[in-house]
Structure 1
């Protein structure tokens, strides 16, 4: 076929490839059957070449040369973020016993489900599930798999980007107010817009490997501001008349605050939604499958996550008790230079986190446009898609900046399924472990706990949003904290 195409091209230099090939077949006297067979093969080859060009252009599959440490800092950047700052507040709503227990169990369960995701990436010899929904399609069928996974994954990733818009704007505002306490107060809306302006530039980086430097900086920042948070809390010392009981004066308030805190913890363990996409960037051969370096990176990331989460949650609650704010850095007021630095670190980190979670969304939208709607994969498509997406998340963040309510609601409604129990359901559907065996029981326990977490924390987060919305004026200032 290749020789035929070369001869055709040489004989008819001013025609398209299809026209040249057709003219050449007439010249050499192809029969109708031979012509139809060749045209069919030619169409298949042309389609495969287009698919290859698209895969080389899309952000997830364009490059597969990442190292294991890319996995480590991508996972740290994806996981440690807005969630860690809300953990002391979550502890204040849960109490010592339930708080430490739920934090520990969540760490164990999510490490287990993350291992499942890494193992399932290449469970079929010669095939890689580069995207979460591809794994869902393999387990549940092409249509049902899409319907189950894609809505959840999109809500997770878009939800995270909205929350990080709020987090970035809030931290910029706190930085400004700390370094210039006598300056005129500026509305949160403008700080969110400043934070968003960075992403109108960075969102045009083409793929995961192109943001590896940003992700490394973000992971260093996350460890740094987590350390500052608990170290500054120790330096501040346990506050006078500190109390560790539940703050709400009603049983309903205490119950719903407890539920909301569950969502905050679920939000803190949120890296699963991009793990397959991260693993897709690592090279793989039968002798050296990608799961080996990927798992090494995940283990390193989870050790660092533990060093970030547990000290911040426990020490922050120990120092401030039930008076701790929904963002631990707001409770820490001195030394000013250190708190200002920590808030700046938060801004740098959530810039990286935003890009980590936005990349799979860009991949989905761009795939839809170039594969289904037949747009040409070019810079204009990418420019429009990514700018519109950043503008959309900025608008929603400006409109609904309810930080702790957002953590609880999104943590419960979408993070719990995709992090705590959807990997277990996929594992059971594909691997089919022996009934009543260890794997079977482990997965069902994770599914049951995840379902409880999803239902309860969604209720708590939604109630929190409703309460704060009552005192919030759109596009005016920060929402007033509820009592």
Structure 2
């Protein structure tokens, strides 16, 4: 597996309505996004002799130079920036849980302080030059992801199957609230499969020759990564909901309390994982901003320019994470608004434009079906996530 593939292994929150429809969406999302990832890997060198190393380059080939940029870049930036914000919140909350588990009787500390601590390390890591330079961090993050996921569902089982007062009903007692929460949970699932936004950048780091094109080792890496994704997500979601019902937190490690040392370790692993994940998504943003400033605004490439761009980005994502650390709402809203297009149906549209499968063939029917499902998911999940954000806002004090 390519060492940079840890960005796929983020611990998604268990679906709060994980009954028949929830399980179906979880499995269907895994299948659809694996298929669209295969499409992107295949299209990396769809033009003989040229490698499409960026998502927007693929969009430009499909839709034209200007239109391709306007279609892909805003969505890709939204995905990458929102993912970095969510990772800031996740890292800070996991640090807080680590401190509470390791020192049970300690004085409570604001979550914003932990986000500030977590974000501080990125001022140093952001100065690394490119994706290749963080391959070691990424490999470690992948291992930690699988480790804390296993700790989460095994510790849940250890807690006991027959818990008192476990409620499997919907959290919101109104029909409209229950429906909107379910839509938000769909966005949570969409957020879990976000590797499409950097897959071409990752494939660009793999050598390619006519005899051994990059798509062969890349596809092997994708399959291994998605197998690990299944091992990470499915047991956590299924076991977490079964044990705790609708009282489970967006991050199940926040719900678990004992044994203290194990929960502390698991949360520390989460912290190290999202450090690597943040950098993978941030590197793509750095590349876009610095390329724009140098080519369009005629800035001179320099160390001060790199420091200014990257430190500013870290500060902005950290500030937003400190201001609105609504983990569940952020996942649902951004999962629907940005990750659904780039992971579920935009690759299908590009495939239809570039590959041109025969009308009413299996490939043609599959792609159009996934386009429709992806658009529906985008609209419903974004609506549900926005509802969750509004509901959280009513009971939350900023920078608490």
TM range (shorter): over 0.9
List per-residue Cα deviations over 1:172-217 (Å, max 9, x = no partner).
Answer: 0111111112222111111111001100000001011100000011
CA distance in 2, matches of 1:104, 1:303: 13
Q: CA deviation at 1:324?
A: 1.3
Q: Which runs of 5+ in 1 are unaligned?
A: 1-68, 478-483
Name the count of aligned residue pairs. 399
Aligned mate of 2:4, from 69, 74, 92: 74
**1:437 matched to which residue of 2?**
361
Q: CA deviation at 1:471?
A: 1.6
**1:23 matched to which residue of 2?**
none
Does the CA-based 8 Å contact 1:82-1:164 persist in structure 2?
Answer: no
Greater RCO (Cα-Cα under 8 Å, separation 6 or more): 2
CA distance in 2, matches of 1:435, 1:336: 58
Computing the radius of gyration from Cα coordinates, the structure with the larger value is 1
Q: Which runs of 5+ in 2 are unaligned?
A: none
Aligned mate of 1:209, from 127, 132, 138: 132
List per-residue Cα deviations over 1:225-267 (Å, max 9, x = no partner).
Answer: 0000000011001212323222321101111111000000000
CA distance in 2, matches of 1:398, 1:317: 28
Does the CA-based 8 Å contact 1:200-1:390 persist in structure 2?
Answer: yes
Compute the RMSD of aligned alpha carbons: 1.0
Aligned mate of 1:100, from 13, 18, 23: 23
Query: Structure 2 matches for 1:314-463, cutoff 5 A?
Result: 314-463=238-387
List per-residue Cα deviations over 1:138-190 (Å, max 9, x = no partner).
Answer: 00000000000000000000000000000000000111111112222111111
CA distance in 2, matches of 1:233, 1:120: 41
Query: Structure 2 matches for 1:58-207, cutoff 5 A?
Result: 69=1, 71=2, 73-75=3-5, 77-83=6-12, 86-87=13-14, 90=15, 92-93=16-17, 95-207=18-130
CA distance in 1, matches of 2:199, 2:269: 24
Local SS of the residue matching 1:442: helix
Q: CA deviation at 1:82?
A: 4.3
Q: CA deviation at 1:127?
A: 0.4
CA distance in 1, matches of 2:301, 2:96: 39
Q: CA deviation at 1:376?
A: 2.1
- Compute the TM-score of the two structures, normalised by the length of structure 1: 0.81
Does the CA-based 8 Å contact 2:181-2:384 persist in structure 1?
Answer: yes
Local SS of the residue matching 1:243: coil
CA distance in 1, matches of 2:170, 2:396: 25
**1:264 matched to which residue of 2?**
188
CA distance in 1, matches of 2:398, 2:348: 41
CA distance in 2, matches of 1:437, 1:446: 14
**1:31 matched to which residue of 2?**
none
- Which piece of structure 1 moves more, 149-158 or 319-328? 319-328
CA distance in 1, matches of 2:245, 2:109: 30
CA distance in 2, matches of 1:294, 1:283: 10
List per-residue Cα deviations over 1:258-306 (Å, max 9, x = no partner).
Answer: 1000000000111110000100111111111111111111111011111
CA distance in 2, matches of 1:166, 1:448: 32
Q: CA deviation at 1:220?
A: 0.6
Q: CA deviation at 1:470?
A: 1.4
Q: CA deviation at 1:378?
A: 2.1
**1:236 matched to which residue of 2?**
159
Does the CA-based 8 Å contact 1:166-1:403 persist in structure 2?
Answer: yes
CA distance in 2, matches of 1:327, 1:78: 17
CA distance in 2, matches of 1:274, 1:357: 7
